[in-house]
Amino acid sequence: MHIAEGFLPPAHAIGWTIAAAPFVVHGARAVVKEVRENPESTLLLGAAGAFTFVLSAIKLPSITGSSSHPTGTGLGAVLFRPPVMALLGTVVLLFQALLLAHGGLTTLGANAFSMAVVGPWAGYAAYRLVRRSGGGLLPGVFAAMAVADLATYVTTALQLAWAHPDAASGFAGAAAKFLSVFAFTQVPLAIGEGLLGVLLFRVLVVSARPELERLGVLRRTPEPDQAPVPEPTPGAER
Amino acid sequence: MRRHLVTALLVLAVIALFATPLLLDGASEYAGTDSQATALIEESDAGYEPWFESVFSPGSSEIESGLFALQAALGGGVLGYVLGRLKGRRTAEQTAGKALTPPTTP
């Protein structure tokens, strides 16, 4: 989904940068606020950023005979809501634009908009939809990861079609072409990413239960066979 | 036991998902979709000239794959650290819980 450096005309490059900037700034403030108010969130924030870092570095083969990479932005969107991922996703894109010649500075705005804004929000919407209709946490996580991944690539295809409409068939023709490159390849990757998200959440549900309850991902339900844990007296721990 | 089985099946499913294309069509180049899109622009919008060059380009594919590996290593390292700490915290809580709350006599 990385639009290569210089491959968006200046007007589009500037437009997408302006469109993405408020989300990224808002995301940065959301991260700072989260860390300041709940320092114990830092670990999970690190996990969300790290997950995107790993997944977007790995290009995977798909049945269409081409390869592409997952985005991993659904995890943080479920844990901390989408704004946080606007910052974390953009950091990943910046790393790749500066060190890997993958994506670019002129296309950073457009790429951030697809991967760090549209992806997380679409994934979060899918998660809420599954939970609202009675689905469990893990199906919700699967939907969030898969939809965030797919939505990112569909957005990229539309961005490219807008910037480079087909000479004969215009925007629609170009969109069909770019979608045929991006969308089908991405389907198995989105499923794989969903499964990875489920794997990770199965660990988090056991190890990070207090955080998940505080973040509202899990409902606070004291286990029936367990006595309520007494609150530690303040200052007693040191 | 059942928990481990589900984990193993999930891991197998992920591996199968990405191994299947390689087994079915080992001859394909599996070109990246990003570069396919770039090629598509060059073909359909032939008059378009990229107006900006990457500030830094890895000199060879070896360097490039090394930097990608670095990115994955950073992410994997942090993720492993977090999961390890969470797991260790839980283990510590369990041992502390056992030591602090003696079974109440009925």
Supply the range of the domain harboring residue A41. 10-214
| Antiparallel, parallel or unpaired: β B31-32 and A60-61 | unpaired
Interface of A with B in 149-188 (CB under 8 A): 153, 156-157, 160, 164, 166-167, 174, 177-178, 181-182, 185-186, 188
| pLDDT tens digits along B53-103 | 888 888 888 898 999 999 999 999 999 999 999 999 999 988 988 776 666
Residue A5 lies in a domain: no
| pLDDT digits 0-9 by tens, A142-179 | 999 999 999 999 999 999 999 999 888 999 999 999 99
Which of B28, B45, B57 lies at the smallest CB-CB distance from A164? B45
Q: How many CB pairs under 8 A join A and B?
A: 183
Tell whether the model's pLDDT for residue A238 goes beyond 50: no
With beta carbons less than 8 A apart as the criterion, state whether A137 and A218 touch. Answer: yes
Q: Which of B43, B14, B20, B36 is nearest to A182 (CA)?
A: B36
What number of CA atoms fall less than 13 Å from residue A20's CA on the CB side? 26
- Is the overall model pTM greater than 0.95, yes or no? no
Task: Please state, in angstroms and rounded to a whole number, the distance separating the CA atoms of residues A94 and A106.
Answer: 11
- Any domain includes A223: no
* A220 assigned to some structural domain: no
The answer to whether B14 contacts A204, with C-beta atoms less than 8 Å apart, is no
Count of domains observed in chain A: 1
Q: ipTM of this model?
A: 0.86
Q: How many CB atoms lie within 10 A of CB B92?
A: 10
Q: Distance, in angstroms, between B9 CA and closest chain A CA?
A: 10
The secondary structure of A97-162, three-state, reads HHHCCCCCCCCHHHHHHHHHHHHHHHHHHHHHHHHHCCCCHHHHHHHHHHHHHHHHHHHHHHHHHH
Which letter does DSSP use for residue A208 in this model? Answer: S
Contacts of A182 by beta carbon, 8 Å cutoff, 6+ apart:
A1, A68, A153, A154, A156, A157, B33, B37
Candidates B7, B30, B40; nearest CB to A178: B40
Q: Determine what percent of chain B is predicted with pLDDT higher than 90.
A: 44
CATH number of the domain bearing residue A86:
1.10.1760.20
